[in-house]
């Protein structure tokens, strides 16, 4: 594996910057005005691009709100590769948790944007169905990787799907708690603490 990533071209960097500008602006405007009161034209004008350019990156304004990063489609594959490369002494739960921590780091880095994004999703439950649809391919990649790591068939055995659902629950619970804390506690710490509680069998608090 190379020690440094290949140099990114100016064109690639500009595309990433435009994507991120549209996504962050969409979240900002919707958080301020409400989902129904923001149009693609509003978002484009704020960023200084045409609506045609907007549609080069997103299918609709809802996607601009919920898809934060241009590599979202590859994120599941990257997490799956990280899971498979995890040391064998780690349990499948520990390995899967570690594979998802990089996403927690990005959320923490873009704290204000994500606090607004979560607020918008909380206020607009219809966006959740879009999130689920977007995550479909990533889920398949992760289930395949869990199956390979555990030697189980995701189609035939319960464990891969159960583990994936449990760790997604861990991550979602940690993100919600992070949001309630106004992002002031590192999200990675919350994710790992939630995963440790799950691994311990979720004992009642205060009981040995």
What residue segments make up the domains of the chain, in order of their start? 1-70, 71-202
Distance CA(204)–CA(208), nearest Å, equals 8
21 is written with which tokens? 């500008």
pLDDT for position 167: 94
Per-residue pLDDT at 93 exceeds 80: yes
Distance CA(125)–CA(204), nearest Å, equals 31
Enter the CATH code of domain 1-70: 1.10.357.10
Distance CA(169)–CA(181), nearest Å, equals 18
Predicted structure pTM score? 0.87
List all residues 6 or more positions away from 150 whose beta carbon is below 8 Å from its beta carbon: 92, 159, 160
For 160, phi and psi rounded to 5 degrees?
-55, -45
Per-residue pLDDT at 1 exceeds 50: no
Distance CA(101)–CA(171), nearest Å, equals 9
Residues 31-52 have pLDDT tens digits of: 999 999 999 999 999 999 999 9
Distance CA(42)–CA(83), nearest Å, equals 40
Distance CA(151)–CA(146), nearest Å, equals 8
pLDDT for position 4: 41
50 is written with which tokens? 């045409």
Per-residue pLDDT at 58 exceeds 50: yes
Q: Do domains 1-70 and 71-202 have the same CATH topology?
A: yes
Between residues 41 and 133, which one has the greater pLDDT? 41
Per-residue pLDDT at 125 exceeds 60: yes
pLDDT-based confidence at 130, cuts 50/70/90?
Answer: confident
Between residues 140 and 17, which one has the greater pLDDT? 17
pLDDT for position 6: 58
Per the prediction, the chain carries an average pLDDT of: 92
Task: For the beta carbon of residue 65, count every other beta carbon within 10 angstroms.
Answer: 26
Distance CA(107)–CA(100), nearest Å, equals 11
3-state secondary structure 66-80: HCCCCCHHHHHHHHH
pLDDT for position 116: 97
Closest listed residue to residue 57, CA positions, set 114, 5, 19, 21: 19
Which superfamily does CATH assign the domain made up of 71-202 to? Tetracycline Repressor, domain 2 (1.10.357.10)
Over residues 160-176, the mean pLDDT reads: 95
> Per DSSP, which regions of 14-139 are E strands?
none
Q: Are 104 and 173 in contact (CB under 8 A)?
A: no
Residues 2-23 have pLDDT tens digits of: 334 457 788 899 999 999 999 9
Distance CA(181)–CA(185), nearest Å, equals 7
């Amino acid at each position: 594996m190379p020690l440094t990533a290949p140099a990114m071209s100016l064109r690639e960097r500009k595309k990433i910057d435009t994507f991120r500008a549209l996504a962050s602006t969409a979240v900002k405007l919707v958080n301020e005005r409400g989902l129904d009161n923001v149009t693609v034209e509003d978002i484009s004008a704020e960023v200084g691009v045409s609506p045609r350019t907007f549609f080069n990156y997103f299918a609709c304004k809802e996607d601009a709100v919920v898809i934060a990063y241009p590599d979202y489609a590859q994120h599941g594959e990257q997490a799956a590769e990280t899971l498979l490369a995890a040391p064998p002494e780690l349990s499948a739960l520990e390995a899967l948790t570690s594979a998802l921590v990089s996403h927690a780091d990005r959320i923490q880095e873009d704290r204000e944007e994500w606090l607004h994004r979560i607020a918008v999703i909380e206020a607009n439950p219809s966006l959740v169905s879009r999130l689920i649809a977007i995550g479909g391919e990533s889920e398949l990649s992760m289930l395949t990787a869990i199956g390979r790591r555990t030697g189980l068939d995701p189609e035939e055995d319960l464990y891969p799907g159960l583990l994936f659902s449990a760790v997604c629950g861990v991550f979602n619970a940690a993100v919600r708690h992070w949001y309630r804390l106004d992002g002031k506690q590192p999200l990675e710490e919350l994710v790992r603490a939630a995963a440790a509680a799950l691994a311990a069998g979720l004992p009642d608090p205060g009981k040995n």
